[in-house]
A and B are shown apart, each in its own frame.
Chain A
Amino acid sequence: MTSTNVSSKSNFYFKSFKKERLMLWELIRINSKTYTRKLISIILFFLLWEFLCWIDFNFIINFVFVPTPVEVINAFIQFINDSPWVHFKASILRVIGGFISGSILGIFVGLLIGSSKILEDLLATPLELLRPIPAVAWIPLAILMFPDAESGMYYITFVGAFYPILISTQKAVENSLSDRLMIRVGQSLGANSFQLFKDIIVPSSLPGISAGLVIGMGNAWFCLVTAEIIAGRFGIGYKTWESYVISEYPPIVMGMVLIGLMGAFSSFIVLKITDSFMPWRTISKDGI
């Protein structure tokens, strides 16, 4: 049974050096099984990939042109030796910029249309009409509407982050509002609408909002390649796209892997941060 106690409140109070060390050791011991399993899954994944390339697998899916993991690693080494930081920096800034503006606006509008019928009637329909438009379709307009390429790219990552956050927030708020008991408790204690909103609706919506943020972060990376098609020179997504245009295959896969890794890592960070806002939750899997 693997159980993660998100809120080790009592440990927090009896913090001592010795105890801390013991806990860390225990933590490693408890988690080592999980880590081993995760490591094995990754190794198997790469072995399968190498194997399929090696046998030139070609049935429905064609692996003949797919670069092998080794080629990809070589492309990566070359990329690292060739001033990669401008690319990293450009991409990370675009994703963070899009994600943060998407979060602020998504949560704000989500709280509004989740809690007010009037605002929902006024805002939801146009937002819903724009939602299915894929990021690629925004490229021409983004170029026309924004003063420079950079802000157009921010806009496209923003769109990617905004919608999942908006929808999750709205649904989480509606779900909280449907919990009549929680609201009645607040009313009987004398809370007015604002206090109900701040102390009850918002905290009980946090798990849903958190899910939206994690998906939104992933989506921002997802839209990065699209956004950087507009770019002139820099960015991981741009690198990927450029390699495709000049038919260099290993860097394409390298770009994909890098985006996947950074996307997963930043989603993980978002998850950790949002979890720290919800110390009351005890999550135990497998041992249900």
Chain B
Amino acid sequence: MNQNVLTRTKGKVVIDNISISYSSRNEQIYALKDISATINPGEFVCILGPSGCGKSSLLNGIAGFVNPSNGKISLDNKEINKPSPEMGMVFQQYSLYPWKTVKENISFGPSINKKGDESPEEIAAKFLDMIGLSKYANHYPNELSGGMQQRVGIARALANYPDVLLMDEPFGALDSQTRIIMQENLLKIWREFKITVVFVTHDIDEAVFLADRILLMSTLPGKIKRDLKIDLPRPRDKETTDSKRFIELRQICHSLIREESIKAFEKQNQ
């Protein structure tokens, strides 16, 4: 893992003019249309947009769960057409396997794609330590709080040592205090692993706090409306959120999102 920090060249995601459509009730609906973006190795990119604009669709496209109807997405110059352990995913809903203990949930990935010389159990123990849940190794997910479950979800996705971590509103269901702590922890983990993170959210503060870059999306069909660089210094902490620049950037996002949310609401109403 340490060598990864020095020579992180993997984890480049190129989204090349893709559209994603769903056919429902004999109707072809475009969730995304003609989207292009490049996400560089080690970059932390947030996808920000109102509900229903196609954020999950885009992330599912990158993960290989849905194939774009045209265009292509590639990871390190290899076209993605199915899910692979090179990309870890943290889901919008709680998604731990209820029949596996916390430890077994984390070691599941490593146990099916053995690589390196760490055993799955060692990997699980290490990541449990990292998320501070070693005491809960043998508990079942339904004995954990939502925040703890989501931490395990992150550890599970990282346990495969992926090049890219995809996160779909992972903290959406948490209270604001827990959420802030989780965000800070996530940044710590990201600094340590230096992997590419694509983080979907509809929370402006969250996006500005976390991201190197925000891709702001518009609605129906989803497009990238703005590619916004977040030039806040790192490491970021509570003080970051009080800085003048943070408030400025938040303001910019606010006004852009507001237009979109109103448009989205009207369209969904038709």
Q: Which residues of chain A have a CB within 8 Å of any CB of chain B?
A: 7, 9-10, 13, 181-182, 184-185, 187-192, 195, 199-200, 203-204, 206, 278-282
The reply to whether A188 and B138 form a contact with Cβ atoms under 8 Å apart is no
Given contacts A187-B65, A190-B113, A203-B97, contact A13 B138 (CB under 8 A): yes
| Of B63, B93, B112, B142, most A-chain CB atoms within 10 Å | B112
Q: Which residues of chain B have a CB within 8 Å of any CB of chain A?
A: 63-65, 82-85, 87-89, 91, 93, 95, 97-101, 108-109, 112-113, 138-143, 156-157, 160
Q: How many Å lie between the Cα of A7 and that of B190 in the bound state?
A: 35
Ranked 7 nearest A-B pairs via Cβ: A190-B85, A189-B109, A187-B83, A203-B99, A280-B140, A188-B89, A190-B113
Given contacts A13-B138, A195-B112, A280-B142, contact A188 B99 (CB under 8 A): no
Q: Which residue of A lies closest to B166 (CB)?
A: A188
The reply to whether B142 and A188 form a contact with Cβ atoms under 8 Å apart is no
What DSSP secondary structure best describes chain A's contact surface?
Answer: helix
The reply to whether B95 and A9 form a contact with Cβ atoms under 8 Å apart is no
The reply to whether B88 and A188 form a contact with Cβ atoms under 8 Å apart is yes
Q: Which residue of B lies closest to A10 (CB)?
A: B139
What DSSP secondary structure best describes chain B's contact surface?
Answer: loop
Given contacts A188-B89, A190-B109, contact A204 B138 (CB under 8 A): no
Contacts of A181 in B (CB 8 A): 91, 93, 95
The reply to whether A188 and B97 form a contact with Cβ atoms under 8 Å apart is no
Contacts of B112 in A (CB 8 A): 189-192, 195
Query: Pick the contact of A9 from B84, B97, B108, B140 — CB < 8 Å?
Result: B140
The reply to whether A278 and B99 form a contact with Cβ atoms under 8 Å apart is yes
Contacts of B157 in A (CB 8 A): 188-189
The reply to whether B160 and A189 form a contact with Cβ atoms under 8 Å apart is yes
Q: Count A-B pairs with CB separation below 8 Å.
A: 75
Q: How many Å lie between the Cα of A188 and that of B82 in the bound state?
A: 9
Q: Which residue of B lies closest to A179 (CB)?
A: B95
The reply to whether A185 and B97 form a contact with Cβ atoms under 8 Å apart is yes
Q: How many Å lie between the Cα of A279 and that of B100 in the bound state?
A: 10
Q: Which residue of B lies closest to A12 (CB)?
A: B138
The reply to whether A280 and B98 form a contact with Cβ atoms under 8 Å apart is yes
Q: How many Å lie between the Cα of A204 and that of B157 in the bound state?
A: 21
Query: Pick the contact of A185 from B87, B95, B99 — CB < 8 Å?
Result: B95
CB distance from B166 to the nearest CB of A (A): 8
Contacts of B100 in A (CB 8 A): 203, 280
Given contacts A185-B97, A188-B89, A189-B156, contact A282 B142 (CB under 8 A): yes
Q: Which residue of B lies closest to A194 (CB)?
A: B112
Contacts of A278 in B (CB 8 A): 99
Given contacts A280-B142, A282-B142, contact A188 B83 (CB under 8 A): yes
Contacts of B99 in A (CB 8 A): 203-204, 206, 278, 280
Q: How many Å lie between the Cα of A146 and that of B130 in the bound state?
A: 64
Contacts of A192 in B (CB 8 A): 112
Contacts of A9 in B (CB 8 A): 138-140, 143
Interface pairs (11), CB distance under 8 Å: A185-B89, A185-B95, A187-B65, A188-B65, A188-B157, A189-B160, A190-B109, A195-B112, A278-B99, A280-B141, A282-B142
The reply to whether A184 and B97 form a contact with Cβ atoms under 8 Å apart is no
Known A187-B82, A188-B84, A189-B157; further 18 A-B contacts with Cβ < 8 A? A7-B140, A9-B139, A10-B139, A185-B91, A185-B95, A185-B97, A187-B64, A188-B65, A188-B83, A188-B87, A188-B88, A189-B88, A189-B109, A189-B112, A189-B160, A190-B160, A199-B97, A204-B99
Q: Which residue of B lies closest to A190 (CB)?
A: B85
